[in-house]
């Protein structure tokens, strides 16, 4: 069964304290791995798509990496405005004609000034 | 472009009542999705559509129905609301790039 697990569930950082969020996945053929950011009371906002092991993508203080079993979202020198829930999702090869995603539970990040 | 819009933003229903959650997208996307999000549970797919006139069940379809008469609209119907349907509902749409774009959500409370 296709599955996505994110860890930790919650993470508290001081401003400037770098860390990483983990997304482990089990899927019958990966077509793509997606990272979203979700602010309280809002819908998820797209951040990155990764397609193959070794691929990396960056946006401001965020960098996403991908291996054959997991993805990391590295946050460098975070600021309070980076506080949000970060969601990971995968699309299996078998879902290429439907676009269906399987989501993890999310990691809630709090960055204190 | 407004992207994906959802109405209402918040609704309180009594047990047994029915309602329709509206979703509209202006990006000409073929694919549309309905999710529910419960605390600590991530997003669960309720129904999806790959084009006008085509819909299919997701992971948690019981108690819901959908229709897709146009490319833009994908309403979600709740019949006989139950407390277990208290949740936040998100509509999303996607095109050929596989990326899904989400609406702002509808918060539903069933009492």
- A62/B contact by beta carbon, under 8 A: no
Distance from A104 to chain B by nearest Cα, in Å?
A: 6
Return the residue in A33, A43, A64 with the most chain B beta carbons within 10 A, the one to mutate for interface testing: A43
Would you say how long chain B is, in residues? 111
Q: Chain B closest CA to A29's CA: distance in Å?
A: 15
Burial class for A95, CB neighbours closer than 10 Å (0-12, 13-18, 19+): buried
Query: Is-contact A104 A5, C-beta < 8 A?
Result: yes
CA-nearest residue to B47 within chain A is A100
The answer, for A31 touching chain B at a CB cutoff of 8 Å, is: yes
B 23-52 → A contacts, CB under 8 A? 31, 33, 35, 40-45, 48, 50
Position with higher pLDDT, B61 vs A2: B61
Note whether A46 contacts B105, CB cutoff 8 Å.
no
Mean pLDDT for all residues in chain B: 95
Residues of chain B with C-beta less than 8 angstroms from the C-beta of A41: 105
pLDDT digits (tens, 9 = 90+) for B6-35: 999 999 999 999 999 999 999 999 999 999
Q: pLDDT in tens for each of the 113 residues of chain A?
A: 889 999 999 999 999 999 999 999 999 899 999 999 999 999 999 999 999 999 999 999 999 999 999 999 999 999 999 999 999 999 988 877 888 999 999 999 999 99
Mean pLDDT of B84-107: 92
pLDDT of residue A98: 87
Least Cα distance to A87 among A13, A16, A9, A29 occurs for A9
């Amino acid at each position: 069964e296709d599955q996505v697990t994110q860890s930790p569930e919650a993470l508290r950082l001081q401003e400037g304290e770098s860390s990483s969020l983990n997304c482990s996945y089990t899927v019958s053929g990966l077509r793509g791995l997606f990272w979203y950011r979700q602010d309280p009371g809002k819908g998820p906002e797209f951040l990155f798509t990764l397609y193959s092991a070794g691929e990396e993508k960056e946006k401001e203080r965020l960098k996403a990496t991908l291996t054959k079993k997991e993805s990391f979202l590295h946050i460098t020198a975070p600021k309070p405005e980076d506080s949000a829930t970060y969601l990971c999702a995968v699309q299996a090869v078998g879902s290429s004609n439907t676009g269906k995603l399987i989501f993890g539970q999310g990691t809630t990040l709090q960055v204190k000034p | 472009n407004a992207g994906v819009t959802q109405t209402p933003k918040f609704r309180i229903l009594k047990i047994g009542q029915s309602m329709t959650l509206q979703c509209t997208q202006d990006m000409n996307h073929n694919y549309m999705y309905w999710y529910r999000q419960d605390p600590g549970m991530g997003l669960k797919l309720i129904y999806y559509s790959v084009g006008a006139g085509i819909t299919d069940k997701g992971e948690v379809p019981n108690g819901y129905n959908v229709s897709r008469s146009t490319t833009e609209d994908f309403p979600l119907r709740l019949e006989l609301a139950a407390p277990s349907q208290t949740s936040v509902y998100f509509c999303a749409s996607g095109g050929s790039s596989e990326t899904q774009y989400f609406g702002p959500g509808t918060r539903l409370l069933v009492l």
